[in-house]
Structure 1
Amino acid sequence: MKKQAIFAIAALTMGTVLQAEEMKMAVTTSFQNSGLSDVLLPEIKADLDLDVQLLVVGTGQAIRLGEAGDVDAILVHSRKAEEAFIAGGNGTHRTEIMYNDFVLIGPGDDPAGVASAGSAAEALTLIAEARVPFASRGDDSGTHKKELSLWEAAGVGESARDVSWYKEAGSGMGATLNTASGMNAYIMSDRASWLKFGNKGDLKLLFAGDPVLFNQYAYLPVNPEAHPHVKADLAAKLEDWLISDRAGALIDGYTLNGETLFTFNAKQE
């Protein structure tokens, strides 16, 4: 009996020793939908013995989770909101990790003529003038924030985006792409989510390349001075890995049908 008890205690002790550390990170739906999380998380676990639990939400909700101290770090893509997060004392700093771009998707026959537009603003103006269906995430995500800024730049304010053609899905990128596919509607997506999306139907990539469509992703650790319970040491450990050559090779090497989904450009501010 004594031997059994000793073995049981040893097994429990070994289990405790071997248990990986855990932290929580709020990330955008595009990070998940693109498949990049499936590439990075196992390597983080292998290299750091760290389990990163993801809360997959839009940028707006990720920031609110950080403000509440419900996560240890956030990975998002809306610089203005990120800077406000830091200025409010909710994050310690902002580190750029990678980028891709936003693209405009639409029906193959392109009834609004978006493919001929000279800028993103012109493309959205053409959609508004044609009053053809447009699916918006409508969820306060980074993609939604960018889309709204582009409508404003195009001079198409909220009152001009009539519900007869402008449809707010209130959902993540994958779900909104499904909505657009079902409606054969125009939509703005990050390139990675579009490339990974399997239910394209008649939708085609019609417009890209305007510098305003640049899409930067950044990592922000939650401030332990505001939330003493957060795992600042693990957030720092993860950040060191995310800016490493190891992470860069994995991010740059993640392709789909020969196309790169993200480009590594780590830089701490």
Structure 2
Amino acid sequence: MAQSGNVTIKGSDTMVILGQRWAEVFMSKNPGVTIQVTGGGSGTGIAALINGTTDIAEASRAMKDSEKTLAAQKRGKHVVEIPVALDGLAVFVSEKNPVSELSLAQLKRIYTGAVKNWKEVGGRDERIILYSRENNSGTYVYFKEHVLENADFFPTAQTLPGTAAVINAVARDARGIGYGGIAYGKGIKHLRVKKDANSSGIEPSMENVVSGSYPVSRYLYWYLAGEPEGNLKKLVDWVMSKDGQGVVENVGYYPLPDDVLARYAARQLTGKKPPKGKKTGGQ
């Protein structure tokens, strides 16, 4: 696909705006290349990579070993994992909500239904309305693994297609709570998140996300079947350059630390495997 001058990117709804902006800037610099970017969720993008219907899968969660094995079997190529940006998984409430911080344990109790009223966590005497992402979303998977510790969401949680929809719902609902990528968090309030009851609440700022002190920080990934060549390699190399990373910051996510970019650059010279995203906040 990429050899013909066309590149397809599919997957994470969290990343779709970032992917589209990368595509716009890259195509302006390379008029002979056409890049198509679509969402649908991380799971949808990964399935498309496995089935050979996309060049790049965008994912806001790490690809599972079982998925990588299946892709290798179907495509006859090993999966290349490239962390392309950093994100703080923000927790949103209405600007009218007096609560300003919650611990990871409180968030788990809220989303599993053990806590149902805001007064139990320092808020008003009102029922908590849960907003969540769909289960094919990498954001959903990450939140379930790292906040709920793989417990089930409470059945009353309303699942919505994309972080923008969660933001809109919470903005209209003073009793609501939601979660999603930091770049979408406009017009609502970000809660500070505490690692435990005795810790200070940490804001999802660039400094805190890059350092890993924010408890729910994560890498955003591109996945490819085999080593990139031609226009695909040119695109990946550009995204991993200072120029490409500047787009990340403009969109509202956080650029990769210099050590990750340096490892990618070194890989290009040595032919070694791609850089692994360091663990930040459990991922």
Matching residue of 1:180: 170
- 1:96 is paired with a residue whose SS is strand
- 1:63 is paired with a residue whose SS is helix
Which letter maps to 2:154? Answer: R
Matching residue of 1:193: 184
Matching residue of 1:65: 48
Cα distance, 1:96 vs structure 2? 1.2
Cα distance, 1:61 vs structure 2? 0.9
Deviations 1:81-115 (A, max 9, x none): 2554334315531111110201111133437x4x3
Matching residue of 1:262: 254
Equivalences for 1:18-29 in 2 at 5 Å? 21-29=5-13
Is structure 2 residue 236 aligned with structure 1 residue 239? Answer: yes
2:91–2:191 Cα contact (<8 Å) kept: yes
Deviations 1:144-163 (A, max 9, x none): 1112124533x8x32x7142
- 5+ residue gaps, structure 2: 118-127, 194-201, 203-212, 265-273, 276-283
Deviations 1:129-177 (A, max 9, x none): 1351010112321111112124533x8x32x7142xx2222x1221232
Q: Distance in 2 between matches of 1:176 and 1:133?
A: 12
Is structure 2 residue 190 aligned with structure 1 residue 205? Answer: yes
Change (3 A) 1:82 1:108: same
2:94–2:172 Cα contact (<8 Å) kept: no
Q: Distance in 1 between matches of 2:85 and 2:91?
A: 20
- 5+ residue gaps, structure 1: 1-19, 225-230
Matching residue of 2:80: 93
* Partner residue of 2:27 out of 38, 45, 49: 45
Change (3 A) 1:220 1:150: closer
With structure 1 as the length reference, what TM-score do the two structures score? 0.71
Deviations 1:13-51 (A, max 9, x none): xxxxxxx8211111421223xx43453222211333321
Is structure 2 residue 248 aligned with structure 1 residue 251? Answer: yes
Seq. identity, %: 12
* Partner residue of 2:145 out of 133, 140, 149: 149
Equivalences for 1:220-235 in 2 at 5 Å? 220-223=223-226, 233-235=230-232
Cα distance, 1:262 vs structure 2? 2.2
Which runs of at least 4 in structure 1 moved beyond 6 Å after TM superposition? none
With structure 2 as the length reference, what TM-score do the two structures score? 0.68
Is structure 2 residue 200 aligned with structure 1 residue 217? Answer: no
2:94–2:170 Cα contact (<8 Å) kept: no
| Count of aligned residue pairs for this structure pair | 221
Matching residue of 1:106: 93
CA RMSD of aligned residues (A): 2.8
Change (3 A) 1:238 1:30: same
- 1:140 is paired with a residue whose SS is coil
Which letter maps to 2:163? Answer: M
- 1:24 is paired with a residue whose SS is strand
Equivalences for 1:120-135 in 2 at 5 Å? 120-126=104-110, 128=113, 129-131=115-117, 132-135=128-131
1:221–1:236 Cα contact (<8 Å) kept: no
Deviations 1:168-207 (A, max 9, x none): 22x1221232233344410011101113xxxx4xx42123
Cα distance, 1:216 vs structure 2? 0.6
Q: Distance in 1 between matches of 2:101 and 2:184?
A: 23
Which letter maps to 2:133? Answer: R
Which letter maps to 1:218? Answer: Y
Deviations 1:34-85 (A, max 9, x none): x434532222113333211012121111111111111011121211x25543
1:24–1:54 Cα contact (<8 Å) kept: yes
Q: Distance in 1 between matches of 2:237 and 2:246?
A: 14
